[in-house]
Amino acid sequence: MSTPLRILLCRCSQAARVAPSSVDAITNALATSGALITIADDLCGLAAAKDPLLAEIAAAPNSAIIACHTRAVRWLFAAAGYAIDESKTKLYSLRTQNTEDIITALTAETCNAESQVDAVSHDSDWPPWFPVIDRDRCVNCMQCMNFCLFGTYAISPDKQVLVAKPEACKNLCPACARICPKSAIIFPKYEHSPIDGSDVPDEADGPAVDLEALKQGDVYARLRQRSAGQRFSPNRDEETATAPPSDLADRLGVPPEVIAAMSPDELRKICARAAECESPECSCNQNNSKDPTDNAE
């Protein structure tokens, strides 16, 4: 008797990067295939929790994972500690592959019997948004760790950068991926390539953010103006006084709501780190030590 096909299917319920109709179509098409199907609400959440289900899928002699981009899935499993053997586990992308083609490929490996279908949740209020490192591309330059303000990254005992606190990542912020010189950082829920885990074009080496442009004084001047404006705006227009610098959001690829949630001190730091600027002579650091709106240490 052949081994039943073990299938993990991700709905991506938080970010909706896959079409619910595709998930339903695959589940319905495999209803009499004899497969063992688990529908996950969020594969990223399971990976962050190192859920044993992923170990079960990775160890199965005949399995399939149907989720987002295959590069993202591969490194999500690796980050959880469950490396995928692609001679036993087939990867299918609901973001790039035709649903009918996936169904055809899967039904070729199944038998005529009722399937078993269950569902699993990552069981947390935290929206699982965090970076995943593509080890095939990472050169361990540690720019991501030096750039991140939130303690998401750390160094392993063997001196490799790793994602130590995924829950510390700022929701919807992909900035560390945009400064990675090798496009090695993946945010599976991100909208655009290659940060979303899609294949990286050969010409993509080099950071997506122009670090030299971030060194321009206008960015730092605007940060200081925003800081001062929060308390001393002459027109007392709160919306104008607290408006974040739009060019910072654009250059870093950070959603405006993330920028808006940061303090002036955090904004100065993120600019300084992006520009690799720690020198006291730099315009972003001058006259800031006495800024009355700085956060207390």
Task: Give pLDDT tens digits for 232-260.
Answer: 333 334 333 344 445 666 666 666 667 66
Match 């970010």 to its residue by tokens: 15
What one-character DSSP code corresponds to residue 3? P
Average pLDDT of the residues in 17-46: 91
Q: Is the pLDDT of residue 90 over 70?
A: yes
More confident residue, 98 or 297: 98
If pLDDT is split at 50, 70 and 90, which confidence band does 122 have? confident
- C-alpha separations of 257 from 172, 179, 262, 279 in Å: 9, 20, 9, 29
Q: At what angle do helices 70-80 and 52-59 cross, to 10 degrees?
A: 120
Q: How far apart (Å, rounded) are the C-alpha atoms in residues 253 and 258?
A: 10
The residue type at 124? S
Phi-psi region of 175 (alpha: psi -120 to 50; beta: other; left: phi over 0): alpha
Q: Is the pLDDT of residue 177 over 80?
A: yes
Residues of the chain above pLDDT 70, percent: 66
Consecutive H or E run containing 268: helix 264-274
Q: What is the pLDDT, as a whole number, of residue 263?
A: 65
Beta strands in 153-294 (DSSP E): 153-155, 161-163, 185-186
Pairing mode, if any, of strands 161-163 and 153-155? antiparallel
Q: Which of 125, 132, 34 is nearest to 74 (CA)?
A: 132
Q: How far apart (Å, rounded) are the C-alpha atoms in residues 154 and 131?
A: 12
Q: pLDDT of 222-231, one tens digit each?
A: 444 433 443 3
Length of the chain: 297
Residues 224 and 294 sit within 8 Å (Cβ to Cβ): no
Q: How far apart (Å, rounded) are the C-alpha atoms in residues 177 and 209?
A: 9
Whole-prediction pTM value?
0.73
Consecutive H or E run containing 91: strand 89-93
Sign of the dihedral defined by the CA atoms of residues 123, 58, 161, 190, in that order: negative
Residues of the chain above pLDDT 90, percent: 46
- Widest CA span of the chain, in angstroms? 80
Q: What is the pLDDT, as a whole number, of residue 212?
A: 53
If pLDDT is split at 50, 70 and 90, which confidence band does 220 have? very low
